[in-house]
Structure 1
Amino acid sequence: MASPTTATGTSPPSHSKPSLPRFTIPCGDHFHSRDSSPSSCDTPDGSRSSSRRRPSFGSIKEDADDGTFVLPFVCEATYEILRNLSWTLTTSPSPKEHCKPAHREMQPSPDFCCPCGGFLGWKQIRLGGKSLSRSYGDLRNIGNKQAKGWAWEDTETGRELMPPKAPAVVELSQPPPGTSALERLPPEVLDQIISNLAVDLPPNGYTPRNVDLISCLLTSHTLHAATLGVLYRNMTFPHSIIFSKALNHMSQYPALGTLVRRLDFSHFTSVGLGRTKQMNAEIQNLTSRTLLKCLDLLPNLKECLLQEHLEGDLSVEVIRKLFMGLPNLRAVDFCGCSTQAFSQVFTEALSAGPPLPMSLPSMKRLSLHECSTIPAPMFDQLLSRLINLTHLDLTHTQVNDSALAAIPETARISHLGLSRCTRLRSSALIEFLTTHPAVCESLVYLNLLNDPTRFRLLEEEDVSALLPKLPSTLRSMNLGGAKVTSEHVSLLIPLTKHLHELGLSSADLSVKDVNTFFAKDDNAAPSTLCYLDLAKVPQMTIGAIFNTSSCFLLSEQSYPLQVIEFSDKIITPLRERAKTQRVSVGWTVRDLGRRGWYVRDPASLPNEPLDDGYRYWKMGARWWGMRKIPMAVGDVGGIYGHYMFKK
């Protein structure tokens, strides 16, 4: 910028006080001189402007055409700096010369302008009789006091900061195919990540599932290989059409069959898509022949979950294939297969033809739940070969004492279901549970539920002999139907310190006896019971349950108790009570099938941690009081959910 000049082109006298530099503020074609009176409106050359055009007061001109230094809005600090500069200064004209009347008549001007129309500054604007405008210097002082400095100034030095630079945009180069961070993960880690996308249960009806896995198949070669293992690891078939498609695809690409680890028919139904059972049988999608062909393509199969809807398709060859033709098979489930046709096929598969091997080391989990027609000798022949057995569900079967005694001592049974086994003798059962190496130190789940109106397995003396010898590893025990009385309370209290589930249906216990399970004692460990089955307990009535002064069941003292199972005689009044009462007691009614529960509302105890019901020994189930032992870890549904929680 050119250096400022004076009006006369000469330096001021040496004896005179240096005048201020001329800072001009736009006012139409005039400029307001800072070193003169506020009403000066002359142009730099001392002449009047002939134009009345006036730009916006907010406009700022950096340079004038004649070289005059133009700075419209300056603060006091800037003014002091400029006054000390050794620039050539001009003498200020007199105010009278500045405010000479114009040649044409002047119109009335507002308070913030001089009579000639010049702008006097933002401070002169009056709103409602008050000067509300602020100059830059005033606003800066206010900012220093209230906000401790402007955002663009250093609060310590007051110097203006440079505006922040925009962050540099770094363009990441696309890695070559197959070398991205996700694809370079170890196969084990990648498998765990993709496994979270798998959906084991059919979402509903016949809608597609595992859509996310299909998308991963189309991403890259690495993800395609990793996703195939997850997609074919657990194969669930809700109906025969999906089974037929999977079988045809694996027949075309036999390598895919080596990836299958679980064959799950727990959700299978023979009726669907508007077809009857007879129509599906005529279509021949799922038959004993196609099922055997499928098993031949799965050399690495570990879990085969069958059920009553397939019992007509289980041939002798299929059963022998399961027990002798799959060396890696660890779990098999025949839940609900109770027809005479199945019994004949099962018996022929185990007794006729080539004999079974002396041991079946790979078989660890066996479920014959509700297989009530299998003859008793078949249990002796089969159980004696299971040297590594861990899960055994023989609910409602013809198993007898000799079959239990034939279980190898090398077995370590953690889950045992002997509910409604009418051919067992109580003395032999107690001897087996308390002395046999396969169960006496490893039991976690024990189900001895019976209907006392039809058959009572354990009498009063049997309960007294069994309870003191149960292992501390036990987490779930159902003694429903046994003759449990008040004399057994002292034997039950130690069990409540490690049991999470306790079934005492039809027990002869009073409210006072049940209260002892939750009594607070500084010298004793608190109760760990989360589920208590009190169905058909005679002294458990509506009046007794809601008498908080004498019953601890619904109080905070019973925590961590979450679920109480009652019979329909109590659940029905509780359901009606919930509809009519205005104040919630912190418990709600839930029922499913033939069973009903009174469930604690987690909101009633906000300070206690939320318990979602997960326990390792439930093998994927979340609800309490299961009556069927799972043979595979996973979500419970289909016919298995019916036998586990409804029946």
Structure 2
Amino acid sequence: MDPSATPPLRVKNLRGDQHSRDPSPNSHASGSTHSRSSSFSRRDSFGSVKEADGIAQTFVDSKQSKTESKTGSDKSSSWAMTLDPMQAPEFCCPCGGFRGWKQIRLGGRRMSRSYSDLRFLGRSSSRGWAWDDDEDERPVEKKKKPKEPEKQRVTIESLPVEVLTQIISYLALDVPPNGYTPRNMDLVSCLLTSRTLHSATLSVLYRNITIPHSVIFSKLLRHLRQYPALGTIVRRLDFSHFTSVGLGRTRQMNAEIQNLTSRTLLDCLELLPNLMELLFQEHVEDDIDTAVIRKVFTGLPNLRAIDFCACASKGFSSRFLDAISTDLPAVLPQLQRVSLHECNSLPPAAFETLLPRLVHLTHLDVAHTQITEAALFSIPETARITHLNLAKCTRLTGPQVVRFLTTHSAVTESLVYLNLMADPSRYRLLEAEDVTELLPKLPPTLRSLNLNGARVRSEHVPLLLPLTKHLEELGLSNAELTTDDLNSFFIPPEKEDKEQEASPWQPPALHYLDLSRVSSITLGTLVNPKALVLVSPHSEPLEVIELSDKLIATLRDRTKPGRSNGWTIRELGRRGWYVREPPTAPDGSPQRVDDGSRKWKMGARWWGMRKVPMTVGEVGGLYGHYMFKK
């Protein structure tokens, strides 16, 4: 590099002193020639930039050239290169091509040539000035305001799996419209949307499986055999809608087709290791053999609910007894809800063998069975029964049932639903003294009480009044009550002594009353508000009154088209109700009213159910028949 081509500014040393150069061109030339002749070694120039040895714009102190000190061939050149900086002249001569400070372009920037601007220009390089060791002396750049984060679009796939599964579950149909049309088409569409929705939809689609007929069962079994991992998703297997009616087949034809048999049913249960709820009924009882029953009680460790509704054939009863009599564990801790509703052919030994093992029992439906008092008292004290159905159990006696309900720890503090219905024409369970002993000891947790067929008289009204403050359903069929007794449920009593402070009147919580076959309820008293306040605004929140067939037929004939007193008739199967119509808003549209759904009903949306549900879901199929029609 030719020192003469460097502007005067570049000859500053680290002390900031200016050094002059020999203005004579000869001295420059001689120095340059000597540099080329010294074995082609680069001469250390005083204050020059070593571009070959370091980074550009790195200023260093030069050393005396050893070659020139030894040869001494050109004293003037050697003197110029080894001049003591302290003896430098006070002037500096620019090079020949120098046209002035203002004409020098500093990296394309237009700025003054002050020290601060030149220093700022040095900061734009990778290292800056060599003497800028103190970070605090550097000019502080203005910090740019951080940009606001862009709003990200949240897609449905980014939701948590639990939330996504809950959303998709609203598309699932627990009760199919019928057994032959395609079901859950919305879920099938979700399967084809994306990978995330596919995995979430699979858990919804296979969580609760409803089998309406044998063809669907055959398809399910074939699919589970092909993809066994899907069987781990299944939590409920529901046969409550199963039927062969409408397929044009007989039982013999179904047996020959071999879609649903005891063998295929067992194979299906083997592929469902995490099954929690299993719902059978009378239409599949011939396919439930000993191996299937043994698998239910011993081979499904996560099973919580089992329902054998109306399985009453002799073959089923013998197979059931054989299965639970051998190899049954001493305790079944996982099983909590058991229904043997209308299994009237099961022998008493079946109940005495099964019930003592249900240490965590919460729901028990043994309506119209041969359960005995010994089996009832064999229920472990660790059980906490909330739903108990003892309707039409002819082997039970009133005093023993009352003793069980008032002394056994499994029911004294936890009952929510209690059905003690009986047909007095055949058998009366509770006499008047039994009712007197039972009513004061019923727990405040009770919400539904069915005393149909019990000998309830006017003397029991003071005992019933406290119960009406928390009961929502009350069955009093065949009760010997007057209209004044029924009015006392909804009208506060008159004060006998005005000076005596009476407790404040608490309105009843009753929404449903079963008054069928009550002699005081006639067409004249029912529609006359002065005689009976049941169909007047004073009876609110009462909205459903169950009546006998004869009275319902009379009301139907009396009702004229286009004329209404605020109540209407509803019929289903053998039962009929007088139902309060929903009130209308000022604009004429009906207001939203209570649809009857309660947590303790486990999905049922009507009043007066006579079968205990074992699962939470829509009620239909054969279960709906036994719950509301029969």
TM class by shorter chain equals 0.7 to 0.9
CA–CA separation in structure 2 for the residues paired with 1:287 and 1:204: 22
Q: Is 2:526 the counterpart of 1:545?
A: yes
CA–CA separation in structure 1 for the residues paired with 2:200 and 2:525: 59
**TM-score, normalised relative to structure 2:** 0.73
Tell me the alpha carbon deviations over residues 328-384 of structure 1, each in whole angstroms, 9 at most, x when there is no partner: 0000000010111111110111114x2x11110110000000000111011011000
CA–CA separation in structure 2 for the residues paired with 1:519 and 1:586: 20
CA–CA separation in structure 1 for the residues paired with 2:372 and 2:398: 11
Q: Is 2:579 the counterpart of 1:596?
A: no
Paired position in structure 1 for 2:414: 442
CA contact 2:583–2:591 (8 Å) conserved in 1: no
CA contact 2:282–2:311 (8 Å) conserved in 1: yes
Q: Is 2:364 the counterpart of 1:416?
A: no
1:220-619 aligned at under 5 Å gives the runs 220-352=194-326, 354=327, 356-520=328-492, 523-579=504-560, 583-603=563-583, 610-619=593-602
Cα drift, residue 273 of structure 1 = 2.2
Q: What SS does the aligned partner of 1:596 have?
A: strand
Specify the code of the residue in structure 1 equivalent to 2:168: I
Tell me the alpha carbon deviations over residues 302-350 of structure 1, each in whole angstroms, 9 at most, x when there is no partner: 0000000000000000000000000000000000101111111101111
CA contact 2:529–2:535 (8 Å) conserved in 1: yes
Specify the code of the residue in structure 2 equivalent to 1:587: W
CA–CA separation in structure 1 for the residues paired with 2:398 and 2:331: 29
CA contact 2:456–2:480 (8 Å) conserved in 1: yes
CA contact 1:447–1:477 (8 Å) conserved in 2: yes
Q: What SS does the aligned partner of 1:343 have?
A: helix
Cα drift, residue 604 of structure 1 = 6.4
Cα drift, residue 550 of structure 1 = 1.7
Specify the code of the residue in structure 2 equivalent to 1:380: E
CA–CA separation in structure 1 for the residues paired with 2:212 and 2:406: 42
Specify which of 613, 623, 628 is matched with residue 630 of structure 1: 613
Tell me the alpha carbon deviations over residues 515-564 of structure 1, each in whole angstroms, 9 at most, x when there is no partner: 00101367121110000000001111101111111211000000000100
Structure with more of its chain in helix, by fraction: 2
CA contact 1:442–1:473 (8 Å) conserved in 2: yes
CA–CA separation in structure 1 for the residues paired with 2:427 and 2:367: 14
Cα drift, residue 605 of structure 1 = 8.8
Q: What SS does the aligned partner of 1:404 have?
A: helix
More displaced, 515-524 or 407-416?
515-524
Cα drift, residue 608 of structure 1 = 8.0
Specify the code of the residue in structure 2 equivalent to 1:592: L
CA contact 1:271–1:277 (8 Å) conserved in 2: no
CA–CA separation in structure 2 for the residues paired with 1:205 and 1:195: 20
CA–CA separation in structure 1 for the residues paired with 2:560 and 2:317: 48
CA–CA separation in structure 1 for the residues paired with 2:381 and 2:248: 51
CA contact 1:530–1:562 (8 Å) conserved in 2: yes
Report how many aligned residue pairs link the two structures: 469
Q: Percent identity?
A: 64
CA contact 2:584–2:591 (8 Å) conserved in 1: no
Unpaired runs of 5+ residues, structure 1, are 1-171
CA contact 1:271–1:280 (8 Å) conserved in 2: no
CA separation of 1:199 and 1:608: change in aligned 2, threshold 3 A? closer
Specify the code of the residue in structure 1 equivalent to 2:471: L
**TM-score, normalised relative to structure 1:** 0.71
Specify which of 153, 158, 163 is matched with residue 189 of structure 1: 163
Structure exhibiting the larger radius of gyration computed from Cα positions: 2
Specify the code of the residue in structure 1 equivalent to 2:414: S
Q: What SS does the aligned partner of 2:188 have?
A: helix
More displaced, 226-235 or 608-617?
608-617
CA separation of 1:487 and 1:417: change in aligned 2, threshold 3 A? same
Cα drift, residue 181 of structure 1 = 2.2
Q: What SS does the aligned partner of 1:341 have?
A: helix
Tell me the alpha carbon deviations over residues 138-194 of structure 1, each in whole angstroms, 9 at most, x when there is no partner: xxxxxxxxxxxxxxxxxxxxxxxxxxxxxxxxxx9999xxxx621121111111111
CA–CA separation in structure 1 for the residues paired with 2:290 and 2:453: 37
Specify the code of the residue in structure 1 equivalent to 2:398: S
